[in-house]
Structure 1
Amino acid sequence: MKIFSAAQMRMADEFTVASQKITSLDLMERAATQIFNMLHQRLQGAPIPIHVFCGLGNNGGDGLVVSRLLIEHGYDVKTYIVNFSNNRSKDFLENYDRLKSILSEWPIQLKSDDNFPVIKKDDMVIDAIFGIGLNRPLLPWVISLIKHINASRCFVISIDVPSGLYADKVPDDPEGVIYAATTVTFQLPKLIFFLPETGQYSRDLEVIDIGLDRDFINKTPGFAELVGKNEVLSLYRPRHKFAHKGDYGHGVIIGGSYGKIGSVVLATEALLRIGAGLATAYIPECGYEIMQTSVPEAMVVTDREDNFITNISIDFEPGVIGIGIGLGIDDKTIQGFETFLKQNKSNLVIDADGINILAKKPQFLDLIPAKTVLTPHPGELKRLLGDWKDDFDKIEKTKVFSNAHECIIVIKGANTLIVYKDTVFVNTSGNPGMATAGSGDVLTGIITGLISQGYDPLHAAVFGVYLHGSSGDIAIKETGYQGLLASDIVSNIGRSYLELFKQPEQQIALEK
């Protein structure tokens, strides 16, 4: 699913109005009616006091329509106008008049922090103060209003985005943003819902179709791409009846040092579980018995050094090599890494200390092949790129780096991002339990194993990140968040493939 910028969403609105020969007021009515339908279906006329806070632009206009429809259906509604400016949009004014025509008392005007309403914990708030068009800091009294709403701890529904969030940067005041229980956003998701600094403001997200022009959406490149089951299904490559292990490649995992052989065990088993035909682990001598007994399906080659890798010598040319996990940054290891890069002709997936070495020796970046996949966690990424101002700046710096070195960067975390040049993919699978030792090593093995099978490195990164998260999602049904181990993720890789093809009713039955 595409993610549009605020400017692209405005263009989609304008194109829809022109192509469907409707007015912007008609489109507002359509969008707000969809929100009302969702609310009405869930509330079923429940006598819950509902407070609707409306700004002065089109987001406020949406709120006015929702308020009017709720009142017309018998709900207990109070509507507040948040007067932060002397300007009002044309559609806001029209819907304000429509709402006034059915009220015995006009909407309550808020102009300072002197007359904030009492909001009880069992009430509901509908937040329609600001939309994605917010472009300046909030007035102090408006920030106080937002804090007042948050302090009520009631159920808050935000229309399009939680008020106080910008579309393309972090908020000026982290406390001046609505904490929404649910955000109902129009047509397409927004990037702010998936970044650590801005995603925290909405616990749940619902995307509703408001009938924006399909042709415009299909033909307009997204600001980013949201990756879910439907998106990765098109990447899946089924096996044929007469396949043999040679059809699915030979992947190599290079890494490990004394006390860190487990990382290679996890990555190598993940490489095989994801479907590689053959696997070889290249490790220091100290890990030989561990690897042979832990992953008997894999072949093992050892370095001449006992405790860490110094000289990488492989007498065949694999389709792909995953390197860096548990590797260490000893001077001799760095020298061996440089020699390896100069001689290598295989696709690469570089993680952990491999990335740390690249950060320490940036000249080595000239030696990596095109479409090398780098899989840093935030700390490793910072060593590679330098500091960034916020999540948006981080993405822009990553794009610049990817363009400069023609590499694919997997920024690990909640909603892992995959960046290739100017394209950003946002993953939707995974859970907090995966913040555990070894989870990244498993991901390295998964991506390496997919490339081994012939997947394009970018497709392998996108598909691999999704399957990695899906495996974790399946595993926590047995372990819970705190009990999840990286080996549990490996054990559920096969089930993550099966889950791709389950129909919704099958999934419900499975979970029961």
Structure 2
Amino acid sequence: MKIFSKEQIYKGDQITAKKQKISSTDLMERAGIQIFNWVHQRMQGAQVPIHVFCGIGNNGGDGLVVARHLIIYGYNVHTYVVNCSDKRTEDFLVNYDLIKQTTKKWPIMLNCEADFPAIGPDDIIVDAVFGIGLNRPPNEWVKGLFQYFRASKAFTLAIDLPSGLYPDKVPEDENGVVWADYTLSFQSPKLVFFLPQTSKYTMQWEALDIDIDPEFLQKTETEVELMGKLEMLPIYQPREKFSNKGTYGHALIIGGSYGKIGAVMLSGRAALASGSGLVTTFTPKCGYIPLQTAFPEAMTITDSDDEKITAIKFDIEPTVIAIGMGMGTHKDTHLALQEFLKGNTAPLVIDADALNILSKHKSDLKLLKPQTVLTPHPKELERLIGKWKDDFDKLKKAKAFSKKYKSILVIKGAHTITVFENKLYVNSTGNPGLATGGTGDVLTGIITGLICQGYEPLTASIFGVYLHGKSADIAVEDYGYQSLTASHVIDYMGKAFLNLFEKPQLPQVTNDNEEANKS
């Protein structure tokens, strides 16, 4: 799913109005009706007090449309205008007149804290104060209103974007933002829904189709995409009947040190579980017996040193190489990595200690071949690209790094973001159960296994991140967040692949009387 920028959203509205020969007011009516339909479908006429807070711009106009239709359908609606400026948009004024023609209960003007209405914890707040066009912090009394929303504990539904939240930067004061329980975003979600510093402002979101021009949606290239099942299905490569283990490549997993051989084992097992034809591990000598004993599917090569990697030499021709897991950062290991990078020609996935070594010796980054995949967690990323001011600055620095080294950055997190040059791919799967040791090693192995089969490195990164999260989502149903382990993610990889082709199950509707008669 494409995630459009603020400027693209405005352009899409203009093109839609022109092509469909409708006014901006008509488009606002369409959007407002979609919000109303969503609410009406869930409330079914329930007389819970609904407080609709409207700004004086187009987001406020959307709120007025919603309030008007709720009133027409007999809901218990209280409408307010947050009078934070003397300027009103034309579409707001049109809908302000329409609601006055619909009901004798005109919108109440709010000018200061003394005007705040009583709101109970069982009430509903509809936030339509500010939209995507906000370019400065709200007035102090408006901030107080947003804090009042939160203190009321009422269910808060935001229209398009929680008010006070910008679509393209982090707000300076969290008290100046509405903390929404649910956000109904027009046509597509906003990037801020997926970033660590800003996702907290909406617990859940949903994108509502408001019939923006299909050609614009299809042909407009976006900087950000949200990757879900629909985006994965065209990526999947089915297997040929007359194939063999050689058809799907040979992955070499390099890493490990004394006490950290498990990281290599997890990556190797994950490479096999994601479809690699063959896997060979390369570790210090101390890894030989553990790997031969606990990982019979893999072949094993060792360094001459017992406890650390000092020279990377092998007599196989791997399809792809993963390196860094549990490897340590000893100076001998650094020299081994440096010499390896100088001569390597295979596609490469770099993780963990190999990233830490490169962070300390940044001149070695120039040795990376194009489309090398790097899979840092937040601290590893910081060591690579430097400290950042906020999440948007982080993404800016990550894109600059990717362009400079022609590399693919997989920024691990709740919504892992794959970065390649100017493009961001936001993952939609995964859960807090992944916050446990070894899951990063598993992700590296999955990506490696996909490249091994012939997926391009960028495609393998995006697909691998999705499968990693989906496997955890399926496994967590059996184990819960606290008990999920990295090995469980590997064990459920098969179900993650199968899930790609499962149709969503519709809830069964039964006749209660009929069921009672059966019993």
Q: Is the 8 A contact 1:197 1:391 kept in 2?
A: yes
CA distance in 1, matches of 2:469, 2:105: 52
> For residue 248 of structure 1, what is the amino acid of its counterpart?
Y
Asked if 1:218 is matched to 2:191, the reply is no
- Verify: 1:178 aligned to 2:149, yes or no: no
Asked whether the 8 Å contact 1:271–1:448 carries over to 2, the reply is: yes
Give me the whole-angstrom Cα distance separating, in 2, the residues matched to 1:51 and 1:140: 21
Q: Does 1:193 align with 2:200?
A: no
Shift of 1:508: 9.3
Paired residue type of 2:460 = A
1:388-410 deviation line (CA, Å, top 9, x unaligned): 11111111111110000000000
Equivalent position SS for 1:315? coil
| 1:147 to 2:147 alignment | yes
**Which residue matches 2:462?**
462
What amino acid is aligned across from residue 24 of structure 1 in structure 2? S
Counterpart check, 1:34 vs 2:55: no
Amino acid of the structure 2 residue aligned with 1:448: T
- For residue 317 of structure 1, report the CA deviation from its aligned partner: 2.0
Tell me, yes or no, if the aligned pair for 2:372 and 2:408 is still in contact at 8 Å.
yes
2:263 alignment partner AA: S
Aligned partner of 1:323 in structure 2 is: 323
Q: Percent identity?
A: 55
1:71 counterpart residue number: 71
Counterpart position of 2:517: none
Contact 1:161 1:184 in 2 (8 A): yes
Q: Distance in 2 between matches of 1:241 and 1:103?
A: 69
Task: State the AA in 2 paired with 1:389.
Answer: K
CA distance in 2, matches of 1:490, 1:236: 18
Q: Distance in 1 between matches of 2:289 and 2:194?
A: 43
Separation in structure 2 between the aligned mates of residue 150 and residue 5 of structure 1, nearest angstrom: 28
Give the corresponding residue for 1:268: 268
Per-residue Cα deviation, 1:254-309 (whole angstroms, up to 9, x for no partner): 00111111111110000000000000010111111111122110001111111111
Q: CA separation in 2, counterparts of 1:507 and 1:149?
A: 34
Question: Which secondary structure does the structure 2 equivalent of 1:200 belong to?
Answer: helix
The equivalent of 2:98 in structure 1 is 98
For 1:295 and 1:496, how far apart are their aligned partners in 2? 22
What is the CA-CA distance between 1:104 and the residue it aligns to? 1.7
**Are 2:254 and 2:281, in contact at CA under 8 Å, matched by a contact in 1?**
yes
Does 1:354 find its partner at 2:354?
Answer: yes
Judged with a 3 Å threshold, the aligned counterparts in structure 2 of structure 1 residues 258 and 428 are, in CA distance, closer, same or farther, namely same
Give how far 1:114 is off: 1.4
Match of 2:387 in 1: 387
TM-score normalised by structure 2 residue count: 0.97
Find the aligned partners of 2:29 and 2:390 in 1 and give their Cα distance: 36
- Partner residue in 1 for 2:484: 484
Amino acid across the alignment from 1:436: T
Q: Paired residue for 2:441?
A: 441
Paired AA for residue 463 in structure 2: F
Moved more, 500-509 or 347-356: 500-509
Per-residue Cα deviation, 1:139-185 (whole angstroms, up to 9, x for no partner):
11100000000111111100001111001100120122111111000
Shift of 1:103: 2.1
**Cα distance change, pair 384–440 in 1 and its aligned pair in 2 (3 A):** same
Give yes or no for contact 1:28–1:62 (8 Å, CA) kept in 2. Answer: yes
Whole-Å separation in 1 of the counterparts to 2:374 and 2:90: 49
Distance 2:103 2:276 in 1: 67
- Whether contact under 8 Å (1:135, 1:166) holds in the other structure is yes
- How many angstroms apart in 2 are the aligned matches of 1:507 and 1:233? 24
- 1:59 is matched with which residue? 59
In the alignment, which residue of structure 2 is the partner of 1:205?
A: 205
CA separation of 1:55/1:271 partners in 2, compared to 1, >3 Å: closer, same or farther? same
- 1:118 maps onto 2:118 in alignment: yes
1:256 alignment partner in structure 2: 256
* AA in 1 matched with 2:484: L
For 2:198 and 2:488, how far apart are their aligned partners in 1?
Answer: 30
SS of residue paired to 2:487: helix
- Tell me what 1:278 maps to: 278
Residues 202-224 of structure 1: per-residue CA shift (max 9 Å, x gap): 11111110000010111110120
For 2:102, the aligned partner's letter is I
8 Å contact kept, 1:280–1:301: yes
Deviations 1:214-246 (A, max 9, x none): 101111101201100000111100001111000
Unaligned runs of 5+ in 2: 510-519
Residue 491 of structure 1 deviates from its aligned partner by: 0.4
Query: 1:311 and 1:495 mapped to 2: Cα distance?
Result: 38
In 1: Cα distance, 2:221 partner to 2:470 partner: 27
Q: Structure 2: how far apart are the matches of 1:174 and 1:484?
A: 33
Check the 8 A contact 1:329/1:357 in 2, yes or no: yes
**Secondary structure of 2:175 counterpart:** coil
Instruction: Say if 2:137 and 2:176, in contact at 8 Å, map to a contact too.
Output: no
Q: 2:351 aligned with 1:339, yes or no? A: no
Q: C-alpha distance in 2, partners of 1:105/1:131?
A: 25
Q: CA deviation at 1:507?
A: 10
Counterpart of 2:455, as a letter, is: Y
In structure 1, C-alpha distance between the alignment counterparts of 2:223 and 2:45, rounded to whole Å: 39
Aligned to 2:108: 108
For residue 198 of structure 2, give the secondary structure of its aligned residue in structure 1. helix
**How many Å separate the matches in 1 of 2:506 and 2:66?**
36
> What aligned pairs does 1:484-503 form with structure 2 within 5 A after superposition?
484-503=484-503
User: Alpha-carbon deviation of 1:105?
Assistant: 2.9
Q: Distance in 1 between matches of 2:174 and 2:310?
A: 48
Q: State the match for 1:89 in structure 2.
A: 89
Report whether the alignment pairs 1:235 with 2:235.
yes
1:53 Cα deviation from its structure 2 partner: 0.3
Tell me how far 1:375 sits from its aligned partner: 0.2
* SS in structure 2 at match of 1:356: helix
1:504, distance to aligned residue in structure 2 (A): 0.6
Amino acid at match of 1:370: P
What are the superposed Cα offsets for residues 340-363 of structure 1, whole Å, 9 maximum, x if unpaired? 101111100000111111111111
Match of 2:307 in 1: 307
Alignment partners' CA distance in 2, 1:195 and 1:507: 32
Matched, 1:161 2:191: no
1:60-115: per-residue Cα shift (whole Å, max 9, x none)?
A: 00000000000000000000100111100000000001011122232111111112
Stretches of structure 1 lacking an aligned partner (at least 5 in a row) = none
Opposite residue 77 of structure 2, the aligned amino acid is V
* Contact in 2 for aligned 1:253/1:322 (Cα 8 Å): yes
Matching residue's letter, 2:141: W
Answer whether contact 2:61 2:95 (CA < 8 A) is retained: yes
Q: Is the 8 A contact 2:409 2:420 kept in 1?
A: yes
State the SS of the aligned residue for 1:240: coil
Q: Counterparts of 1:111 and 1:349 in 2: how far apart (Å)? A: 57
Matched-pair contact (CA < 8 Å) for 1:15–1:213: yes
Runs of 4+ in 1 over 6 A off after TM superposition: 506-509
Aligned match of 1:404: 404
* Count of aligned positions: 509
Match of 1:138 in 2: 138
Task: Verify the 8 A CA contact 1:317 1:345 in the aligned structure 2.
Answer: no
C-alpha distance in 1 between matches for 2:362 and 2:172: 34
Q: 2:223–2:422: 8 Å Cα contact kept in structure 1?
A: no
- 1:127 alignment partner, SS class: strand
